[in-house]
Amino acid sequence: MNVIVNGRNFEISNSVREYAQEKIHKFDKFLNDATEAVFTLSVDKYRHQAEVLIKAGKVQIQAEAVTEEMYSSIDEVLEKLDRQVRKHKDKAADRRKEGKKAASRAEAPLETQAPEPDETSDPENVVVIKKEKFAMKPMSPEEAAMQLSLLDKDFYVFRNDSNSRISVIYKRKDGDFGLIEPAQ
């Protein structure tokens, strides 16, 4: 695995670089297809932030941590990555075990339930708190479900590789996934 250590507002010493490279290599045994790990270390006053992005095949696993010391930030971000990598490997093993059952479930139409409109919300008082922009690469709904489970979010927006349309996959209350596609 190629390890890149970048610094933002921070001159990276050899000891910090070696520490980060040594610690990230423990993921080699879990991610056989990992090609690159990018560390971005930054310092802002007393906030020492460590961000890591691991590219493993079609999957990208990302985590970040902020503490008062760089070494502890690296340790904390690697703990978060460890949880995500283990979750990814467990889900991949479950998919292999399910085999045909998972394939038949993926072919079955997913039910969607429209949320009930909230009568107490006032459309004039809506405030957008956070905006994000990101490039969407084409992927299958199964890949999007895997990305969703790795990101620990409620939904994931992606470009469906079968029809090149924007789609949304979301977690249902029963633990399954729902897929929203635009009408043709």
% the chain with pLDDT above 70 = 83
How far apart are the C-alpha atoms of 123 and 116, rounded to whole Å?
15
pLDDT of residue 114: 46
Q: pLDDT at residue 26 above 60?
A: yes
Checking phi first, is residue 57 left (phi over 0); if not, alpha (psi -120 to 50) or beta? left
At 173, the pLDDT band (50, 70, 90 cuts) reads: confident
Domain ranges in the chain are: 2-97, 128-184
CATH level 3 topology of 2-97? Double Stranded RNA Binding Domain (3.30.160)
Check residue 56 and give its pLDDT.
81
> Global pTM?
0.53
Q: For domain 128-184, give the CATH number.
A: 3.30.505.50
